[in-house]
Structure 1
Amino acid sequence: MVHEELFARLNEVGYKNWLKAGYCLMKVKDGLCGFVDNEMRDFHNVVINSNTILLRGTTCQSNCRPKNNQFQSVCALCSEWKREIVKHHTKPYSVINWGNCRPWLWPTEPWELAKAFMPRGQTGVTRAEHCDAAALLNLLHLCDHFSFINHCLVTEVIRYRNELMHSCEMRVSDQWMAHFQKSLEQLLLQLRHVPEVAIAAQQIQEMLSVDLSVHVPGVDSVDGANRVGIESISLWETELLRESLKDLLNTDEHEGAPIYADLQKLQMLHRFLSGNKDLEEQFGNELHSIQVLEDQLQSLNSNSGQQ
């Protein structure tokens, strides 16, 4: 059977919970995309119309670009955009990921403005639907345009999302799921007037209220059972694992310098993927990258121990 190993993973309650929680975050992202796009267009217009320098409609003539995560603008226009971003940032003294941005597009592209309020790794992202839930949630949290949303509820969901994606064992408990569900419900209730968010909330409720059973084509099942096609589960498992990998590798590597405190996480993730033949084949390139980083981290550990 093609998905034999996936069936085996789904027999583990903690892993099934991990997949279900990840699916819910994917639905959060789907619900927020259109809303965030519209709001950022409004925010972009407000920033321009309230600033006489930006209202002139000029564009960058100096090819201003961030270097890594630093941005010292050359021209007066980009300096003014930078000032506006800092002014509207709810945590202006924290790290602002200038490396996400293409400053010369700030005057014309609202999404380039949005990326300054997101986690790093968004440089090539040009639309909301290309983001993950974490990017959109951080935008809601860090841009004061969204001050009408309770930020405590946003940060709570971000915390659960990070715990989920940083769980290299890929397992969460029933108790964790109950708290996670409550935090999602409270946040989405704030945006219940948005049709896409209301749909997402319903889909999340349906997913969290049933035991995730698998429907195998051609095999009879109990009438009335809640079923999910194995192909669908496989697709969202792949998407979630890729997001988790991206998260961990971005966390462990800062401007080219790995953080060796997370060696154990890397090793656990490596063991999980290589311990499942289907995942080992599917994530071969990523496993190679992890192995290279593991070797770097072990070398750093070894050298620091000798000093």
Structure 2
Amino acid sequence: MGLEELAVRLNDSDYINWLKAGRCLLILKAALHPFVTQRTRAFHGNLLNQDSLLKEPCANSACRPRGNTLSSACRACSQWQTVILRHHRQRNTTVNWGNCFPPHWRTDHWELAKAYMPRGQGKVKGADQCDASALLNLISHCDCFHTVDLKVVTEMLAADLSMQVSGLDGVDSVDLDGIEFDSVSQQAETSADSIGQWEAELLQERLQELLGADDGDDAKTQDIEQLKMLGGFLQANTDLSQRFSTELRAIKSLEARE
């Protein structure tokens, strides 16, 4: 049943394009991990060496963001705020303080990196847990990546890679690059399994992003609506509803609390 349903989904050109684009982003993300990790760790170390105040531990248990606002921070955390803004390429932009746990700025380079990333990164503990867009935003916003050609990053961030699912008309079999999904050959099974795995990785990443977002009422409303749409899509496909049964229960729980 799983391969037949996958074959039906692959009859939709928009869906195939989303899979291709998403696969490229996964490859890009994997390639960015070591570079981003090394550069942000070095950036964090340099800041500590340049400013002794940044080495002081947080002295105030109230140094926690309220939504996207961080106020009444202690002396050390306030200095971290100042330094973060100093190294932000877009000085007038809104910094997503809600991504951060300020008391850990002194000891964790990734808590520093998250200040330069889009909202919804609060639970992320490293580059390997970020999607490509989050990493590209970090590179674009933090001046520690001054050697990177920002034109390339900007063009990539501007690309429309949104998922659009149109009608899913059933067929008996689908030929994908010469592979018949009703074939019993090992080559066909392996290729179909690989495509199915790509699909699962992309859907899992999107579900984690939406289920983990917790920044503000407007953001929550938007995320819940997108979750409903994605949940409906998963529910309509038996193989996906089984694979993502836990996530579907979480979506239903959120809907029940509205």
**1:155 aligns to what?**
154
1:234 is aligned to: 196
Q: 8 Å contact 2:58–2:103 — kept in the other structure?
A: yes
Aligned to 1:103: 102
1:72 aligns with 2:62: no
Name the structure 2 match of 1:145.
144
Report if the CA contact (8 A) 1:100-1:115 is conserved. Answer: yes
2:57 corresponds in structure 1 to 59
CA distance in 2, matches of 1:230, 1:15: 15
SS in 2 for 1:53: helix
Q: Distance in 1 between matches of 2:2 and 2:95?
A: 45
Q: How far did residue 19 of structure 1 move?
A: 0.9
Q: 1:283 to 1:170 in 2, by over 3 A?
A: farther
Aligned to 2:171: none
* Rounded Cα–Cα distance in structure 2 between residues aligned with 1:100 and 1:263: 19
Find out whether 1:167 has 2:163 as its counterpart. yes
Give TM-score, length-normalised by structure 1.
0.68
The match for 2:50 is 50
- Unaligned 5+ runs, structure 1: 172-209, 298-307
Report how many residues are paired: 249
SS of structure 2 residue aligned to 1:116? helix
Structure 2 CA distance for aligned equivalents of residues 85 and 170 of structure 1? 43
| 1: CA distance, partners of 2:228 / 2:215 | 19
Q: Deviations over 1:252-287 (max 9, x none)?
A: x75134677899866654543332222233334544
**Greater shift after overlay, 269-278 or 4-13?**
269-278
CA distance, structure 1, for counterparts of residue 186 and residue 111 of structure 2: 50
State the alpha-carbon separation in 2 of the partners of residues 264 and 76 from structure 1: 40
Give the equivalent residue in structure 2 for 1:276.
237
Partner of 2:116: 117
| Corresponding residue number in structure 1 for 2:15 | 15
Q: Which amino acid aligns with 1:149?
A: V
Query: Residues 268 and 59 from structure 1, CA distance in 2 versus in 1: closer, same or farther, beyond 3 angstroms?
Result: closer
Number of the residue aligned with 2:126: 127
Q: Amino acid of the residue matched to residue 4 of structure 1?
A: E
State the shift of 1:101 in Å. Answer: 1.1
In structure 2, the partner of 1:36 is 36
Q: With CA pairs under 8 Å and 6+ residues apart, which has the higher RCO, 1 or 2?
A: 2
Distance between the aligned counterparts of 2:58 and 2:20, measured in 1? 45
8 Å Cα contact 1:40-1:111 kept in structure 2: yes
Q: 1:241 to 1:78 in 2, by over 3 A?
A: same
The percent identity for this pair of structures is 41
> What is the CA distance between 1:122 and its match in structure 2?
1.6
Counterpart amino acid of residue 35 in structure 1: F
2: CA distance, partners of 1:245 / 1:170: 19
Q: 2 CA distance for matches of 1:89 and 1:40?
A: 13
Question: Do the aligned partners of 1:29 and 1:136 also contact (CA within 8 Å) in 2?
Answer: yes
Q: CA deviation at 1:45?
A: 1.9
More moved, 63-72 vs 241-250: 241-250
Structure 2 distance, partners of 1:29, 1:281, is 27
CA distance, structure 2, for counterparts of residue 284 and residue 67 of structure 1:
33
Tell me how far 1:32 sits from its aligned partner: 0.6
1:24 corresponding residue in structure 2: 24
Q: Distance in 2 between matches of 1:83 and 1:131?
A: 25
Q: CA RMSD in A?
A: 3.4
